[in-house]
Amino acid sequence: MTGPLAGIRVLDLSRVLAGPSATQLLGDLGAEVIKIEHPERGDDTRGWGPPYVETADDAPSDLSAYFCAANRNKQSVALDIARPEGQRIARELAATSDVVVENFKVGGLAKFGLAYDDLKDSLPALIYCSITGFGQTGPYRHAAGYDYTVQGMGGIMSLTGEPEGEPMKVGVAIADLMCGMYAATAILAALRHRDATGEGQHIDLGLLDTQVAWLANQGLNYLTTGTPPPRHGNEHPNIVPYKTMPCRDGHLIVAAGNDAQFQRLCAVLDRPDLAEDARFATNRARVENRATLYPILDNLMRERDLDTWVRALTDRGIPCGPVNTLDRVFADPQVQHRGMQLTMDAPGTETGQLDLLANPIGFSATPVSYRSVPPRLGEHTEAVLRDALALDDAAIDRLHKNGVISR
């Protein structure tokens, strides 16, 4: 096994997206990830389709595209932790692990003897990361939290969408994904602390907390003024011109972040007079007069097609980019050069291969590794029990007969 986290074992008791995205990142960095799933249902997202990855024998697939987005580099163990024997096995796996990640409701794992308080005394070096909707404390701690509702409660929807339209969620589950990023970062910091002191710890992460944390400049705009920022659609609250503009055959983002760039933009548009107009000469003036300037720019941009504008503006050093549909994204030469579409061998699938999104991290010494495609439910149950817990054939057969595991 390669990567900076080689030798680290993660017991993944999470499902859906926030936890799995964090553990996939750890797996990409070289950690061994053991994913515990219900023997019959598996991770909820296995059924979140279509589309599904088609199997070679036309059998029903448990690999939805959604599941595949967050579960490579993992071993699937189909284990029923509602059964006492399943709980015992899970505790034994935790004892062999460096990290446990879970996203049960607050107190949900205590009834199985798998909460942090159940493990910390016997496993003082264990790093235990809990991801919930609202964290382990506070008035909402027992409530279920979902990405969509947290986007609303955490303010990002109030900032997203057209000024006169309805609040709009982000097109992917960004609250979940950002929480996963914070979780992975926290786990890495806790590993560093453990390596220095031998001490493990409990990491408490809530979707709402992380959503509020990445309000970034808009959050500070409110805290500085006391006034909730309005929605600006595809415009920037503090920079003009900085928005999506209509072209003859698509849309172009123009991000002229300073006065010199605006002057060059006006030259490309054959309207140098706009840069000399006192209403538009400085960014402060352009922000104040955006309602006057933007219709002028939009009408000029409609005169040419998208790719013509991209070439013309790029040649003059004006930040810009097309609003791409996903077919254009994966055909983009920069995206292709950076290898962001990953193709892995996937025996048992219809094509024998699986296309995934690559990890964007580039290391010079310890590169990201792609060792295994997202697993079928229970694909590694027997192998993990043999390797990690040294169970023999008789013990594994008994567990299967008793319904504790599935194969």
| CATH number of the domain enclosing 353 | 3.40.50.10540
**Interval 328-353 mean pLDDT:** 95
In a domain, 333, yes or no: no
Domain boundary among 301, 327, 353: 327
Gap between the Cα atoms of 368 and 362, Å rounded: 7
29 occurs within a structural domain: yes
Query: Using an 8 Å Cβ cutoff, are 183 and 18 in contact?
Result: yes
Q: Is residue 277 flagged as an active site residue? A: no
Can you tell me whether residue 274 is helix, strand or coil? Answer: helix
Same domain for 306 and 357, yes or no, is no
Q: Which residues make Cβ contacts (< 8 Å) with residue 205, sequence separation at least 6?
A: 129, 130, 131, 132, 135, 179, 182, 183, 186
Q: Which pTM value belongs to this model?
A: 0.92
Q: With cut-offs at 50, 70 and 90, classify the pLDDT of residue 1.
A: low
Q: What digits encode the pLDDT tens for the residues 182-234?
A: 999 999 999 999 999 999 999 999 999 999 999 999 999 999 999 999 998 99
**DSSP code for 158:** G
Residue 226 in tokens: 């006391």
CA distance 162 to 315: 31
Q: Is the pLDDT of residue 399 over 70?
A: yes
Determine the pLDDT at residue 58: 80
- Percent of the chain at pLDDT > 90 equals 96
Q: How many C-beta neighbours within 10 Å does residue 156 have?
A: 23
Provide the residue range defining the domain that includes 151.
Answer: 9-214+339-402
Which stretch of DSSP H or E encloses residue 68? helix 65-68
Residue 334, number of CB atoms within 10 A of its CB: 7
pLDDT at residue 223, rounded to an integer: 97
How many other C-beta atoms can be found within 10 angstroms of the C-beta atom of residue 9? 17
Which of residues 284, 307, 327 is at a domain's end?
327
Q: Do 17 and 146 fall into the same domain?
A: yes
> What confidence tens digit (pLDDT) does each residue in 38-91 have?
999 999 999 999 999 998 888 889 999 999 999 999 999 999 999 999 999 999
Neighbour count for residue 33 (Cβ, 10 Å): 27
Q: Among 380, 358, 356, 402, which Cα is nearest to 42's?
A: 380
> Is residue 143 domain-resident?
yes
| Domain identity same for 136 and 178 | yes
**Does 229 map to a domain?**
no
- N residues, the chain: 407
Sheet with 32-37, side-by-side order of all strands:
75-78, 32-37, 9-13, 99-102, 127-132, 201-206
Report the alpha-carbon distance of residue 384 to residue 234 in Å, rounded.
49
- Alpha-carbon distance values, 259 to 121, 252, 285, 293, 298 (Å): 61, 20, 11, 14, 19
Better pLDDT: 391 or 1 = 391
**67: in domain:** yes
Average pLDDT over residues 164-192: 97
pLDDT of residue 56: 86
Provide the terminal-to-terminal Cα distance of the chain, rounded to the nearest Å: 25
User: Is residue 194 domain-shared with residue 246, that is, in the same domain?
Assistant: no
Q: Which residue has the tokens 């400085």?
A: 282
**Range 315-338 average pLDDT:** 96
pLDDT score at 242: 96
* pLDDT, mean of residues 160-174: 95
In the predicted structure, residue 114 carries a pLDDT above the cut 60: yes
- Mean pLDDT across the chain, nearest whole number? 96
- The yes-or-no verdict on residue 385 having pLDDT over 80 is yes
Residue 232's pLDDT is: 87
pLDDT for 296 = 97
Same-domain check for residues 199 and 289: no
Total domain count for the chain? 2
- Among residues 327, 350, 379, the one where a domain terminates is 327
Report the C-alpha gap between 221 and 227 in whole angstroms: 8
The single residue of 12, 98, 176, 204 carrying the catalytic annotation is 176
Average pLDDT over residues 353-367: 96
Check residue 2 and give its pLDDT. Answer: 76
179, 205 in Cβ contact below 8 A?
yes
Calculate mean pLDDT across residues 343-366.
95
Please state the rounded mean pLDDT for residues 26-45. 97
In this structure, the answer to whether residues 69 and 185 fall within a common structural domain is: yes
CB 375 within 8 A of CB 75: yes
pLDDT of residue 57: 83
Q: Are residues 258 and 187 in the same domain?
A: no
Residues 164-170: contacts with CB within 8 Å, 24+ apart? 165/231, 165/233, 167/231
How do 320-322 and 242-246 pair as beta strands? unpaired
CATH of the domain at 268: 3.30.1540.10
Report, as an integer, the average pLDDT of 235-254. Answer: 94
Rounded Cα gap, residues 300 and 247, in angstroms: 9
